[in-house]
Homo-oligomer: A and B are copies of this chain.
Amino acid sequence: MKKRLCTAAFIFAAALGLSPALSGRAEADTKGFDLMPMPAKVVPAEGKHRVMEGFYVAGATGPAARAFKAASRFMFRLSGRTGLFFKQDFLLTQAASEPASLVYKYEKAGKLEPFEDEAYNLSIRPDKIELTARTDIGVLRGLETLLQLLAADDQGYYFPCLEVQDGPRFTWRGLMIDAGRHFMPVDMVKRTLDGMAAVKLNVLHWHLTEDQGFRIECKTYPKLHQFGSDGLYYTQDQIKDVIAYAAERGIRVMPEFDIPGHSTSWFAAYPEYASGSGPYTVERKFGVFAPTFNPTEEKAYKFFDGFLKEMAGLFPDPYLHIGGDEVEGGEWKANPMIQQFMKKNGIPDNHALQAYFNKRILKILTKYGKKMVGWDEVFQPGLPANIVIQSWRGQESLVESARKGYQGLLSNGYYIDLCQPAWEHYLNDPIPETSPLTDDQKKFILGGEATMWAELVTPETVDSRIWPRTAAIAERFWSPQSVKDVEDMYRRMNITSLRLEELGLKHLSYQAMLLRRLARSEAVAPLKVLADVVEPLKRYARHEHYTSLSPFTRFVDACPPESMTAREFGAKVDRFLQIKDQALAQDLNAMLVRWRDNHKALLPIIQGSPVLKEVQPLSEALTLAAETGIKAFDLVLSGQKSDQVWVDEMAQALAEARKPKAHAELAILPAVEKLVKASAGL
């Protein structure tokens, strides 16, 4: 699960020297539209297509067709947003003979596999909207674009007239859900699929087995889910249901069974396949653990043959992910039989032993018609080039494997569990402009995947870690490379975030819910003021404190991974320091005063709830930061210059404020520090 080493994304962002405000360089033609991901080409035209109760959708398909169902969902969502009572019974008929407002057409049903055609053309005219594509999947993508174009004026709702020609930059645009560390129920997976479809992601990578849980019903070896899951697993009927749900949204479902490491939960049922002597129970802690399959046991391959045969039959996707990451190695070293086997067969080290294991597994997969995908570590000498490497360690490994003719996916830099700001993910490109690859080599880069590792999330909080930041990543995978204006991305991402709620996603509503639980009251305004300027500690700073049974209902869990309020404040401070505008000054002052005075209102809430005790230092730090900011701000505004003693004092106070509290940190501090420096003329 690629955690211990995953620093490259941070280094990458730092190396570019990018700050969110400065990083947008290319200007997309399409700015001004609230679209995400931005289409390849948008040509604005004159006029508006009015949306009224007579709005009618038509296509030459029946109710069983994917496009028909997608059009029905489109109409429900359009009705939900506009409050319009459409006259059409869009569940019953979408016959093209009617006088239709929106007509969709396609040539054939798309296949759910890489390189399928997802392009579409959308033409909005005052009298008619036409959506054409080669496949029905293209129609689905176009319907999402159209819905994003809905606008309003004094007369009501309309679609602006324009022409869109669109298709994806990368064919593999994934989101990985880790259901191993915390089980994610079917309804979470389904609403995630809806969100993915809305931003044109097309691969659900389903991480189904981990040290902490074996999450899928296995009919060949039922002890696997019976002993390895605490009762929390997907039945095969549920798996089929999810696959069908995804397929209706034009999304592939690729399962991952992580072997030979990350496999403690398997050994709760079958210790005989482990390299150590056990006993094994489902892991509760997080990290990299010793239990590993024994690659020298012939019976293990018979076991995998049975297992993978069943899973290959269950999942129709041509690809199957075998994990392969972070093999700890201790059990191999400690097992004399394994050491003897290695010596006998000329296997020099653990890497080579894993390569041997992978080759055996690949043979089984090939037998059952699946292509193999694995994390970085499966890229080892001797493996054939028809496997796909998913890079979690960095751009370098992706470049290296592409040069050797391996297909690859980038996940490094898209670890959405680490609470990085959206712009860092957004500017992380599977094929950066500086890529050393030749055009032919670049073709091996299929795309990328955002990864939602689940140490610190539950079904209650997980949406807030996925959305809306994954929409920015989805744009990176879909839109032209030149679309990278960070400011405009944030503007569009925040609009997109609101729209995603209509799909049942909880990334916005969960916060007030958690705050009410913490405060044991509906009066949570001061708590929300604080939560909105606080971010969870980033990277792996929180992990060691938790197990899979820990509560994820504390204040830090209610704080968004990226504070949009702090971002707004930072942008205003930057602008104020440039132009010293009066309205801006008032605005900033109001923000700072609100933060300064918040503690008084918050204190009674904290005192009424023991679980909030840890929040008090954080709230006091906000007051301190706000007071400091106000003083610095006043100095800047008055044109006075603060003295060095004061600046040093403030720097020290802010250093104290910067220390992690309640597993969280104040997100407004960098901007306050800028004010302090500016007050000293620095």
Residues of A within 8 A of B (CB): 63, 69, 76, 79-86, 89-92, 152, 155-157, 185-187, 230-231, 235, 237, 241, 281-282, 284, 459-460, 495, 498, 501-502, 504, 506, 508-510, 512-513, 516-518, 520-522, 545-547, 549-551, 553-554, 608-611
Contacts and interface: CB of A to CB of B under 8 A. Distances in A.
B517 A80 contact: yes
B85 A551 contact: yes
A201 to B, nearest CB: 22
Nearest to A505: B513
A90 B513 contact: no
A89 B157 CA distance: 55
B517 A231 contact: no
B516 A92 contact: no
A189 to B, nearest CB: 11
A281 to B, nearest CB: 7
A611 B549 contact: no
A92 B281 contact: yes
A284 B89 contact: yes
The 6 closest A-B pairs by CB, nearest first: A187-B187, A83-B611, A509-B509, A237-B237, A80-B553, A79-B551
A64 to B, nearest CB: 9
A81 B612 CA distance: 11
A9 to B, nearest CB: 28
Interface of A, helix, strand, loop or mixed by DSSP: loop
Nearest to A157: B610
A81 B498 contact: no
Contacts of A284: 89
A553 B504 CA distance: 13
B81 A517 contact: yes
A495 B520 CA distance: 8
B521 A516 contact: no
A456 to B, nearest CB: 13
A86 B502 CA distance: 36
Contacts of A63: 230-231
Contacts of A92: 230, 281-282
Contacts of A91: 230, 549
11 contacts: A80-B553, A82-B551, A83-B551, A83-B554, A84-B551, A91-B230, A152-B610, A498-B516, A506-B509, A508-B516, A509-B509
Contacts of A504: 459-460
A525 to B, nearest CB: 9
A300 to B, nearest CB: 26
A508 B498 contact: no
Given A80-B553, A553-B80, A508 B501 contact: no
Given A92-B281, A237-B235, A550 B517 contact: no
A545 B84 CA distance: 12
Contact of A610 (B82, B517, B610): B82
Contact of A553 (B69, B83, B459, B517): B83
Contacts of A609: 152
Nearest to A555: B83
A75 to B, nearest CB: 8
A86 B609 CA distance: 18
A158 to B, nearest CB: 10
A608 B152 contact: yes
Contacts of A81: 517, 553, 611
A469 to B, nearest CB: 16
A498 B484 CA distance: 43
Contacts of A76: 549
A187 B242 CA distance: 14
Nearest to A72: B230
A504 B458 CA distance: 12
